[in-house]
Amino acid sequence: MLTPRHQALLMTLAGMTVGVAVFGSVLAINGNPLASDKPEVVNSQPTPGTTTRSDGLQADSLRYTEQTFGTEKAPVSAEVPAGWKSSQTGTRPRFMDPAGVWQIRFDTRGSKSSPDKLVDGRAKSIDEQDLDVISRADGTLIYTYVDQNRGRRMGLSRFVSTDGGESSAIEITVGGRPQDEAGLRAVLERATQSLQMPSSSGDNRPN
């Protein structure tokens, strides 16, 4: 026969068993509340950009090297960005960066027309979609257009005179994207300032 003390002990153990069972049921339904103390980690990958070099061509990132072209009797030299290569030499070389985004082109054949006249003529002759002429001052034409494959592009064409603007000795054109404008201007200025041309022994330039 159980004493009153033993009966009280059994009642206490029965109450603890029921409490544990109820607590276990709550955990099963609501989950472990201690787990909510840990921050949730979401593994996600950023969407890669669809356009490379989106920040544009930076003038202060460029280094230059001298290139010689023209003809054997009338060589011409100018500095172009290092790493830009030309697939042709002669009187109309074109130097491009390895990715083909930027370029600089020279035409050393010259013209008897003044730089301003050539700028006007070039602006009228460009046959490109959505042509927008931005500026045509000081013998330099600045414009944008839309290329079917590469999107909006920017060009800067400069006609350099060696006789006070009466005629044009050489054309320098740089090309890229609108966001490259600062870098393109730097490339054009460097090529212009470093330009070395032979003294003229005769005027055989086209009109």
> Residue 55: its pLDDT value, please?
82
Averaged pLDDT, 35-43: 36
Averaged pLDDT, 133-137: 96
Share of the chain above pLDDT 70, in %: 70
Averaged pLDDT, 46-55: 42
> Residue 36: its pLDDT value, please?
41
Question: Quick count: other Cβ atoms within 10 Å of Cβ 121?
Answer: 13
Residue 34's alpha-carbon distances to 27, 42, 108, in angstroms, are: 10, 19, 78
Averaged pLDDT, 194-201: 81
Whether the model clears a pTM of 0.75, i.e. scores above it, the answer is no
Residue 53 has pLDDT above 60, yes or no: no
Averaged pLDDT, 97-114: 96
> Residue 198: its pLDDT value, please?
86
Residue 128 has pLDDT above 80, yes or no: yes
- What value does the mean pLDDT of the chain take? 81
Confidence of residue 33 (pLDDT cuts 50, 70, 90): very low
Residue 149 has pLDDT above 80, yes or no: yes
Averaged pLDDT, 3-24: 49
Give the per-residue SS3 of the chain.
Answer: CCCHHHHHHHHHHHHHHHHHHHHHHHHHHHCCHHHHHCCCCCCCCCCCCCCCCCCCCCHHHCCEEEEEEECCCCEEEEEEECCCEECCCCCCCEEECCCCCCEEEEECCCECCCHHHHHHHHHHHCCCEEEEEEEEECCEEEEEEEECCCEEEEEEEEEECCCCCCCECEEEEEEECHHHHHHHHHHHHHHHHHCECCCCCCCCCCC
Confidence of residue 88 (pLDDT cuts 50, 70, 90): confident
> Residue 108: its pLDDT value, please?
97
